Amino acid sequence: VRVMRDQKATLMVLADTHVGTEEAAAMAALLQLEGIAMRYTAATVDAETGAMNAGTMIWWDPRELELRVDVEQREGRQERRERVEEVEAGRILRVELTVVREQRELVVYGVYMPIRQRAREAEASWRHLHERLEREESGRIAVGGDMNAETEEWLRRRGRAQRDWTKSDVWMHYVMDSHDMRAMANSATYRAGTQIDNWLVTTALHERMGATMSAPGVCGKDHQIVKTTYISTQREVANR
């Protein structure tokens, strides 16, 4: 909460939370008291060790962003269905929001992709994301979180030839190309000098994006926060 307040963030993705269902539900209730909305896909439990793995959350300021809800009449009563979807347990969460001051849709995916060494798991997760993006009707989409993959630009900057790319890197580029997405990060985001944390936005949304910068992460010396700016206005963005 302190990080979100200090960074003046309207929306935040937390990846690899290691938070189970009961704890996440309790967190959501406490955050509501702080004026923060949160939805999550809980960490999964390793069958052999009992360890908590992965977990993804999306936090937002409900004064600026509203969760989209469908209301249906059933047997004389109203039923509400939030537009929140667990695309992959512990890994990929999708929410549909409305930018309040514009009354325009914003689809946000929070992701925690498997590490690159787990090529088969990583390929499955990227495939799940790709297949869900294929069904999108909105053009205003942002995918944020720990990708455990890097852009071509950053790989080249680190001296990595294309033959050295991992399956995760290949899949990230395939998803970006297939869905006309651009990466927002412009610096290293992990202590090893890699850029594995990012925001990927569609071209339609990129027209509204401003500056991107890094900040110390929630866990301090591990990952950096990738903070990007959405310019909320009803007028066309020019000369920014």
Task: Express each pLDDT in 44-91 by its tens digit.
Answer: 998 888 889 999 999 999 999 999 999 988 887 888 999 999 999 999
Q: What are phi and psi of 37, to 5 degrees?
A: -90, 145
pLDDT-derived band at 150 (thresholds 50, 70, 90) equals very high
pLDDT at residue 6 greater than cutoff 70: yes
88-116 pLDDT, tens digit per residue, is 999 999 999 999 999 999 999 999 999 99
pLDDT value of position 234: 59
Residue 220's pLDDT is what? 60
Average pLDDT of the residues in 128-157 = 96
| Residue among 4, 1, 6, 11 at smallest CA distance from 229 | 11
Predicted pLDDT at 240:
42
Q: How far apart are CA 67 and CA 63, in angstroms?
A: 11
Number of Cβ within a 10 Å radius of residue 208: 20
Mean pLDDT of 138-149: 96
- The average pLDDT across 179-204 equals 94
End-to-end C-alpha distance for the chain, whole angstroms: 30
- Predicted pLDDT of residue 236: 53
Query: In this model, does residue 147 exceed pLDDT 80?
Result: yes
What is the predicted pLDDT for the residue at 239?
Answer: 45
206-217: pLDDT as tens digits: 999 999 998 877
Closest CA to 114 of 126, 106, 122, 123: 122
Average pLDDT of every residue of the chain: 92
| 137 to 65, 141, 176: CA distances (angstroms) | 19, 10, 17
Residue range 165-180: mean pLDDT, rounded: 96
Tokens of 112: 């925690």
70, two tokens: 């469908």
**Burial (0-12, 13-18, 19+ Cβ within 10 Å), 229:** middle
User: Which letter does DSSP use for residue 223 in this model?
Assistant: E
Q: What is the pLDDT of residue 179?
A: 97
- Whole-number Å distance between alpha carbons of 232 and 62: 15
Nearest residue to 231 (alpha-carbon basis) of 211, 203, 204: 211
